[in-house]
Chains A and B, each alone.
Chain A
Amino acid sequence: MSLLHLAILSPLLLAIAIPLLHKYFRQIHTGWFVLPLPIVLFTYFLQYISLTRDGSSIIKTIAWIPSLDINFSAKIDGLGLLFALLITGIGSLVVLYSIYYLSKDKEKLNTFYVYMLLFMGAMLGVVLSDNLIVLYTFWELTSFSSFLLIGYWYHREESRYGAQKSMLITVFGGLAMLGGFLLLYIMTGTFSITEMIGRSGEIFTHSLFVPALLCILLGAFTKSAQFPFHIWLPDAMEAPTPVSAYLHSATMVKAGIYVVARFSPIFAEHSLWLWLVAGVGIVTLFWGSFSAVKQTDLKAILAFSTVSQLGMIMSLLGVGAAAIHFEELDNSYFTVAVTAAVFHLINHATFKGSLFMVVGIIDHETGTRDIRRLGGLINLMPISFTLALVGAFSMAGLPPFNGFLSKEMFFTGMLRVMEMNIFKLDTWSALFPIIAWIGSIFTFVYSMIIVFKTFAGKYQPEKLDRKPHEAPLGMLIPPLVLASLVIIFGVLPNILSETLIAPAMTSILPGLAFDVRISFWHGPTPELFMTLGVVILGTILYLTLAKWQSVYGLLPDKLALNRLYDKGLEKAQYGSFRLTSTYMNGYIRTYLVYIFAFFTIVVGTTLFVKNAFAIDASDVSPIRFYEAILVLVVAISAVSILFAKSRLTSIIVLGAIGYTVSLLFVVFRAPDLALTQLVIETVSVSLFLLCFYHLPEISRTEERIRFKLTNAVISIGVGAIVTMIALSAHSTKLFESIAEYYVENTYEEAAGKNMVNVILVDFRGFDTMFEITVLGIAALGIFTMIKLRLARRKEG
């Protein structure tokens, strides 16, 4: 086990110790024990930058299940390192924030930090695994720990609903992704991502390529909250704010982005990948930003804004994949989109993390997150206001913050889509920049709402639960760090380009040349005018918000995706209940009909299809007349049972059948069987009489069995099939009987002359032993049933 593996697993190991630390150090906030770990990991991962900046990577492997090619191989390359730094860096800040956010006395801190560490370890495992099965294992662990964190306040109905919803959707996608991984394994025979990328040409021509692509994309889209699977994210806002900041803005929702980026080298040769990723991303971008404007809860706005920004990164990755697709073009033409994606990934983590923390502070200090009750906090909480301003302006894409740069590059990427007319549909690709532009306008509007509806306007103390004041310093430090990063990356973007962005792009676009200089000023390009348009139109829309907000009422409630989800779940439950209650009706006779009908159909069809019916009379002994008469007696008695009027007659006729069968045993020379059959028949007839005597009065009325056509058809079918099987089996004897051995050895080996008995107790005595056991159990069971009357004892 290398240090790298230890680093990945260390959060899980610490999670084991947390409950103990919580128990024995009551007076110290448990978060302080957690805090050093992500910081240490962050510095540990920082040292790998020197390794990845020249495009190299390392893989460390420890065997897990080598016989199945499943090994815990950890790989550090540009992309994995970028995510690892995000996870540990923001993880440290979020832990620090949570120490001040969560009360030591009121909350169950031990479970919170266990879940949090579980998540952190899982997320590190996802981004640093080179083995698909290990990646999937950690992937499900992130879903699971996210479920636990969303349901942290489990006594609240909405928390449980949100946790269940996110679990169902992400696990659905996760399973689809597992399917995709297995398809990839079938195609290549390896679980290693690195090897797969090396053999992408071979995968591309395989017939399972498209199914694998769709399955993996489904997993990535559900996790990254892409349209139409984004509905779980707003409901996940029931989690504590540090969780929302960490999982639902900076890390977990980017796992899908990671997967798309990671698999781009394999799948991007196909245009389907390009259009699905870019198309779904751009739709998500628009729908997220459009929906964000109508929200009144600050966290809901941020949730939809996360959806929208994730869509933006996703569409950029899709467009950037064109660099692999069009190899004949000048490569750096489309790679700018990937640069923008990676850059915005970092930017989004910084400003969205800080915004969530600010919202958490507001919630903490005022007791509400509803923008209709907030306002005028600018003088009371000046630091929070500054932080919110920086974050929101960066999100809106204004200079001099980092969001401006990534938005400019985003527009560049989108404009270049117009030039890749893959399906000769130039008009369609023109939609990309237009939708992106409209989406950005809405982004601008909701960013303004976050800042100005909260901090500007009239202060309404009567609507607030407590008197707001500035948050404690510890709570402000994490968002301060993030906000200063927003500005630093905005002013000096190139400190990232060589260290993080270029290595990450090497992983996404292996073997391509690109230029990642991020320049602040492009000159008077179309992108600049688009940004100007966004600002102007966005300001107008924000100022006239009250006039056009009724637009949101136009969309009928029935078409809302949440309603669709709720109804779908309800219908699925109701439908399966209905389905089950149609065939599971509780009557044994119905189940017997299923069993016998199934038996007849399956066996009959098999015999028919295999053409296995055979009647061969060469081996049949002559029928003697008394045999014929005995068989006739049995047959007549059997049929007459069906038409018997009273039950007593049935019992007696059944006895007659049993005795006749014993007579048949005599005729066929089986004295032991005949003896046993006679005794058993007598005993069972008397048992039947016993049952008859104890029947309740009401069912003793003499009544014939009613005729039912289905039953008749099925019984005749079963009889016919069994007869045919018996005839066919007798006609096709494949080898000689082994009976000769017993005949020769009964006396020689076992010292007995009665062959049946010798077989029963000597040659095959095991069967006899267990038959005895069966009888013993039956006797005990009957005794227990008669004697043990718990219900009656309870009454008495």
Chain B
Amino acid sequence: MFNVVMQLSLLFISLSMLGLIYRLIKGPSVPDRVVALDAIGINLVAIIAIVSIILRTSAFLEVILLIGILAFIGTVAFSKYLEKGVIIESDRDL
């Protein structure tokens, strides 16, 4: 029973991934895609958590944390880029 629930949740998350991929490809604007990417990152966290439960291992917990950080950094970097055109501002031009 437990296992079936896990598999079902995986299925649903995968379906939501597909929807996000659709949005990622379709666009239409760049911010749409960035948000889709961010959401994909969070979905990844969920998938990895469920897979860890299915596999009965704690080896992937670091991956979950890492994705959380990376998704945040990535989205911030994208947003900054879309807003200002640069990601790392320098005071003077080298």
Q: A residues touching B (Cβ–Cβ < 8 Å)?
A: 625-626, 629-630, 632-633, 636-637, 640, 644, 648-649, 652-653, 655-656, 659, 662-663, 666-667, 669, 671, 674-675, 678-679, 682, 685-686, 689-690, 693
Q: Roughly how many angstroms separate A659 CA and B84 CA in the complex, as a whole number?
A: 26
Quick check: B67 and A678 within 8 Å, CB to CB? yes
Cross-chain contact B25 with A648 (CB below 8 angstroms)? no
Please report the C-alpha to C-alpha distance between residue A371 and residue B30 in the assembled complex, in whole angstroms.
Answer: 91
Interfacial chain B residues near A693, Cβ < 8 Å: 81, 85-86
Contact B70 A626 (CB under 8 A): no
- Which chain B residues numbered 14 to 29 have a C-beta less than 8 Å away from chain A? 14-15, 17-18, 21, 24-25, 27
Q: What's the minimum C-beta distance from B40 to chain A, rounded to whole angstroms?
A: 6
CA A264 to CA B5, docked complex, whole Å: 96
Inter-subunit contact B70/A633 (CB<8 Å): no
CA A564 – CA B84 in complex, angstroms? 71
Minimal beta-carbon separation of A280 from chain B (angstroms): 76
25 chain-A/chain-B pairs, Cβ below 8 angstroms: A625-B14, A633-B18, A633-B21, A636-B21, A636-B25, A637-B25, A649-B25, A649-B33, A652-B33, A656-B37, A656-B40, A659-B41, A663-B44, A663-B47, A666-B51, A666-B63, A669-B59, A671-B59, A678-B67, A679-B70, A685-B74, A689-B78, A689-B81, A689-B87, A690-B87
Quick check: A652 and B81 within 8 Å, CB to CB?
no
Contact B27 A626 (CB under 8 A): no
Say which residue of A640, A671, A689 sits within 8 Å of B60 (CB atoms): A671
Q: Which of A644, A653, A674, A679 has the most CB of B within 10 A?
A: A674
- Determine the distance from Cα of A757 to Cα of B18 in the docked complex, in whole angstroms: 34
Give, as a whole number of angstroms, the nearest-CB distance from A633 to chain B.
6
Complex Cα–Cα for A435 and B64 (A) = 99
Which B48-69 residues sit within 8 Å CB-CB of chain A?
48, 51, 55, 57, 59-60, 62-63, 66-67
Specify the main secondary structure of chain A where it touches its partner: helix
Give every chain A residue within 8 A of B18 (Cβ-Cβ): 629, 632-633
Cα A644 to Cα B24 in complex, Å, equals 11
**CB atoms of B17 and A629 under 8 A apart:** yes
Q: Are B60 and A649 in contact, with the CB atoms below 8 A?
A: no
> Could you tell me if B44 and A659 are in contact, using CB atoms closer than 8 angstroms?
yes
Do A682 and B51 touch across chains, with their CB atoms under 8 A apart? Answer: no
Instruction: Specify which of A629, A656, A679 is in contact with B14 (CB 8 Å cutoff).
Output: A629
A755 to chain B, nearest CB (A): 11
Kindly list chain B residues whose C-beta atoms are within 8 Å of the C-beta of A655. 37
B22 nearest CB neighbor, chain A only: A636
The interface residues of chain B lying within 8 Å CB-to-CB of A632 are 18
Residues on the B chain within 8 Å of A690, using CB: 87
Contact partners of A626 in chain B: CB under 8 A: 10-11, 14, 47, 51
Q: Compute how far the CA of A301 lies from the CA of B66 in the bound complex, rounded to whole angstroms.
A: 92
Assembly CA distance A630 to B21 (angstroms): 11
Are A648 and B24 interface neighbours, CB within 8 A? no
- B78 and chain A: residue at smallest CB distance: A689
Q: How many A-B residue pairs have CB under 8 A?
A: 90
Pick the residue among A636, A671, A685 that contacts B62 (CB under 8 A).
A671
Given A666-B48, A675-B66, A682-B74, 14 additional A-B pairs, CB 8 A: A625-B11, A625-B14, A626-B11, A629-B17, A632-B18, A640-B25, A652-B24, A659-B40, A663-B44, A663-B48, A666-B63, A675-B62, A689-B81, A693-B86
Interface membership of chain B positions 80-91, coded 1 if the CB is closer than 8 angstroms to chain A and 0 otherwise: 010001110000
- A649, A671, A690 — most chain B CB neighbours (10 Å): A671
A669 partner, pick from B30, B55, B81, beta carbons under 8 A: B55
CA–CA, A288 and B63, complex, Å = 90
Give the complex CA separation of A659 and B40 in angstroms.
9
Contact of B77 among A633, A644, A652, A686 (CB under 8 A): A686
- Judging by beta carbons under 8 Å apart, are B77 and A678 in contact? no
Which chain B positions have C-beta within 8 A of A644? 25
Chain A residue at minimal CB-CB distance from B74: A682
Q: Which residues does chain B contribute within 8 Å of A625, judged by CB atoms?
A: 7, 10-11, 14
CA distance A551 to B59 in the complex (A): 100
Using A653-B25, A663-B48 as known contacts, say yes or no to A669 and B17 having CB atoms under 8 A apart.
Answer: no
Contacts of A667 in B (CB 8 A): 51
Task: Give Cα A656–Cα B37 distance, bound, in whole angstroms.
Answer: 7
CA distance A730 to B93 in the complex (A): 55
A679 neighbours in B (Cβ, 8 Å): 66, 70
**Would you call A666 and B40 a contact (CB within 8 A)?**
no
Question: For the complex, what is the distance from the CA of A653 to the CA of B30, rounded to whole Å?
Answer: 12
Residue of B nearest to A786 (CB): B94
- Measured in the bound complex, the distance between the Cα atoms of B72 and A313 in whole Å is 95
Collect the chain A residues with CB atoms within 8 Å of residue B41's CB: 659
Instruction: Assess the A675–B63 pair: CB atoms within 8 A.
Output: yes
Residue from B44, B60, B70, B87 in contact with A682 in the complex, judged by beta carbons closer than 8 Å: B70
Q: Which residues of A contact B70 (CB under 8 A)?
A: 678-679, 682
| CB of B28 to closest CB in A, whole Å | 10
Q: How far is the CA of A758 from the CA of B48 in the complex (A)?
A: 24
Report the separation of the CA atoms of residues A644 and B67 in the bound assembly, to the nearest whole angstrom. Answer: 26
Residues of A within 8 Å of B60, CB to CB, are 666, 671, 674
Query: Which residues of the partner chain A approach B24 to less than 8 Å between Cβ atoms?
Result: 637, 652-653, 656
A649 touches B27 (CB 8 A): yes
Asked if A674 and B25 sit within 8 Å, CB to CB, the answer is no
Query: When chains A and B are docked, how far (Å) is the Cα of A640 from the Cα of B25?
Result: 7
A653 to B51 CA separation, bound complex (whole angstroms): 24
CB neighbours of B48 from chain A (8 A):
663, 666, 674
A469 to B77, CA, bound (A): 98
Given A629-B14, A678-B67, A689-B81; A648-B21 close (CB under 8 Å) = no
Q: Which residues of A contact B51 (CB under 8 A)?
A: 626, 666-667
Collect the chain B residues with CB atoms within 8 Å of residue A666's CB. 47-48, 51, 60, 63
Instruction: Return chain B residues, CB-CB under 8 Å to A649.
Output: 25, 27, 33
Minimum Cβ distance to chain B for residue A621 (Å): 14
A648 to B28, CA, bound (A): 12
Q: Which residues of A contact B33 (CB under 8 A)?
A: 648-649, 652
How many angstroms from the CA of A427 to the CA of B40 in the assembled complex?
Answer: 97
Q: Which residue of A lies closest to B57 (CB)?
A: A669
CB distance from A276 to the nearest CB of B (A): 76
B74 neighbours in A (Cβ, 8 Å): 682, 685-686
What residue of chain A has the Cβ atom nearest to residue B24's Cβ?
A: A656
By Cβ-Cβ distance, the 6 closest A-B pairs, closest first, are: A629-B14, A671-B59, A640-B25, A626-B10, A682-B70, A674-B63
Instruction: Name the residue on A nearest B55 (C-beta).
Output: A669
Residues of A within 8 A of B67 (CB): 678
User: Is A633 within 8 A of B62, CB to CB?
Assistant: no
Instruction: Tell whether A648 pairs with B30 under 8 Å between CB atoms, given A637-B21, A653-B25, A655-B37.
Output: yes
Residues of A within 8 A of B40 (CB): 656, 659
Q: Measured between alpha carbons, how far is A685 from B81 in the docked complex, in Å?
A: 13
A652 to B75, CA, bound (A): 12
**Residues of chain A within 8 A of B15, CB atoms compared:** 629
A residues near B10, Cβ cutoff 8 Å: 625-626
Q: A655-B37, A663-B47, A667-B51 are in contact. Are A678 and B73 (CB under 8 A)?
A: no
